[in-house]
Amino acid sequence: MSWRSFLRQTPFRLTLLFIVVYAFVAGMIFGYFYFANAAETRALTDMRVRMRVDHFRDIYEVQGPEALRRIIAHDDSPDWFMVEQVHNDQGQVTAQNRRATDLVSQGGLADAVPMSVVGAQDSEPVQQRIDPSGSKPFYLRGQVVRLGSDVTLYVAMDTSWADRGWHMGVKAIWGGAGLLIVLGLMAGLLINREVSRSVHDLMKVLDAVKEGDLKARVVLRESGDEFDALAERINDTLDRMEGTIGNLKYAGDAIAHDLRTPLSRLRTRLEVALYEVETDAAQAPDVLERALADTDQLLRTFQTVFAMSRLEAQGKAPDPQVFDAQALACDMAELFEPLAQDKGLAFDTEFANDLKVYGNRDFLAQALANLLDNAIKYTENGGITFRLRETSGGDVEFSVTDTGQGVPEADRLRIIQRFVRLESSRSLPGAGLGLSLVEAVARAHGGRLAIDEGPGIYKKGIYVNRGPGLRTALVLPPV
């Protein structure tokens, strides 16, 4: 990773920004302390100087100039921050304390005060820089007071104690700032490395998916952080995608597989037909008509398979609406009752009121038509009962019960599969898609197709508990 790309990375830039902001805030706080501290130092110094000046003024006024000069000259008190001098009108020192003597001998302090302040009454605080040989420069802050003719008092205080503390503070701040920057950069590098590793992992997986490896997944680190959450989300999305694509592939394979059977049947018939026409040309229209009927049947099959695949792929019914379940059941009963009657079968209905279903009316109608058609087709004696009821679980159930030959329990799952036709029904027309479609419609509506034992044989208006029969039910969730 080059230095430039490193600089472009978000975590590192955030770290830099953080350092700058932190340094700025620290500088502000530091500056505030500086000014507050300096003002405090000045005020304290000025007060102590003034007290000293007042003390000396008392001595001068009560005991006279000589006493003042003597007291100052003998002042070698441990309070050595104080510098005390008495000047005559020519500005020459006539007395000074020990501290002043020391400073003058070190060459730091002039033995005369500036002429500008001599003669001034109660001068403003004056500050002078002292640069003694062999030690650090410092500032004296004090006052020049003319007490009488030939007596000018200079009292000042060494402020180096405050400066020294201040300088140590500055040093500490610089050191701290250096440490802050170094540690901050290191933290930035660490965060950056961590984040780029996570991002890199994610990108690697996405790249793999882009290249077509749908099985690629991000390895979770179980840290529970945002990156893990993101990785989990990406993995979920990939799972779903893989599932959907798998379904589509499966649907495509299924269609190809499903259509092979009817196509090869059509081909065989055409082959036979060709042979028949060769032997007797007059059969041609008949043969063509049969081929046409076969093609229609094939197209119908294709349409059904296609509809199922779309239902399965979409996972929901198109154009869904809320409508009255009883109206649908009545329509279907009305449509199929003559078919049953023509076959000599009883056709009973029991429809509950006020049940609503949500879905595609045509698909649901087709599903019920398939159930009714099957029941009528596979029942020779007895009858059909078509019921609509609300189950104890609140579902809406359309059930069709017949008294036909039934389906052995082992085969009940099989008959839902596409193109599966049981031996016993091979002689009857159909492609083996009826129940598959019902199942697909049920699932697309969030419901299911239930296949159970029938009631037995219908005899003289009642069901005798003998013989299998079949009960198929389209169960839909409540609206």
85 binds other proteins, rule: CB under 8 A: no
Which residues, at least 6 apart from 14, have a Cβ–Cβ distance to it below 8 Å? Answer: 188
Decide if 402 contacts 378 (C-beta within 8 A): yes
| 79 counts as binding other proteins under rule CB under 8 A | no
CA distance 308 to 5: 53
**Residue 263, Cα to own-chain centre: how many angstroms?**
51
Say how many C-beta atoms besides its own lie within 10 A of residue 401's C-beta.
Answer: 26
Residues near other proteins (CB under 8 A), total: 32
Least Å from the CB of residue 285 to other proteins = 11
Confirm or reject binding of residue 139 to other proteins (CB under 8 A). Answer: no
User: Is residue 379 near other proteins by the rule CB under 8 A?
Assistant: no
* Residue number, 363 or 458, with CB nearest to other proteins: 363
Among the listed residues 16, 26, 173, 369, the single contact to other proteins using CB under 8 A: 369
Q: Which amino acid is at 105?
A: S
Q: Residues 211, 222, 319, 423: which binds other proteins (CB under 8 A)?
A: 319
Kindly state whether residue 344 participates in binding other proteins, applying the rule CB under 8 A.
Answer: no
For 356-368, letters b (16+ CB in 10 Å) and e give ebbbbbebbbbbb
Report if residue 266 touches other proteins, rule: CB under 8 A.
no
**R_g (Cα) of the chain, nearest Å:** 54
Q: What is the DSSP letter of 9?
A: S
Judged by CB under 8 A, the stretch of 184-192, 207-215, 330-338, 395-403 that binds other proteins is 330-338
Q: Is 136 in the site for other proteins (CB under 8 A)?
A: no
CB-nearer residue toward other proteins: 159 or 304? 304
* Touching other proteins, residues 428-457 (CB under 8 A): 434
Separation of alpha carbons 445 and 424, rounded Å? 31
Residue of the chain from 48, 265, 361, 421 that contacts other proteins (CB under 8 A) = 361
312 binds other proteins (CB under 8 A): no
Minimal distance in Å, beta carbon 185 to other proteins? 59
Angle value at C-alpha 94, between 91 and 100, nearest 5 degrees: 90
Q: Is position 323 an interface residue for other proteins (rule: CB under 8 A)?
A: no
Segment lying near other proteins (by CB under 8 A), choices 129-137, 145-153, 223-231, 337-345: 337-345
Spatial separation of the C-alpha atoms in residues 410 and 178, rounded to whole Å = 81
Whether 47 and 219 have beta carbons less than 8 Å apart is answered as no
Tell me which of 228, 331, 411, 452 binds other proteins, using CB under 8 A: 331
Quick one: which of 197, 196, 195, 217 has its CA closest to 206?
A: 217
Which residues make up the interface to other proteins (CB under 8 A)?
289, 292-293, 296, 299-300, 302-304, 306-307, 310, 318-319, 331, 334-336, 338-339, 342, 360-363, 365-366, 369-370, 373, 377, 434
